[in-house]
Structure 1
Amino acid sequence: MDALKTAEYARALYTAHGDRAEAEAAQKMRESQAAGNQQEAQDWKAVRSAIRQIRGPNQG
């Protein structure tokens, strides 16, 4: 997933779930890893990181 798509997913998740968005992305990452889909897991890891940036410092 390219950086623009990652940012779009992160913003959409944050808008929909607020402070719970990072946990949602982490859960999706774990599910992808468990299913053996490493590329998808990496995509969710990037989304999680982008959400963390959106939230800013000291927000969790």
Structure 2
Amino acid sequence: MDAKPVKGGKAGGEVKFRDQAFKSRTLITPDGVAVAVEGFAVTTSEPAIIQYLEQHPEFTREE
């Protein structure tokens, strides 16, 4: 399965998460989706990625 990188802009319905451990890295979800961390942050509107990051101990959701 090919990994799909995910980056976010600032559109409606997007959620921002702060990485507490790394400034930049790539996470691979159990579904094989690559999630890029840049500048300690990930922004996404994908429900599966939001759920994954909410359960990850090194990420906090920003309001």
* TM-score category, normalised to shorter length: 0.3 to 0.5
Higher strand share: 2
TM-score, normalised with respect to structure 2: 0.32
TM-score, normalised with respect to structure 1: 0.33
Higher helix share: 1
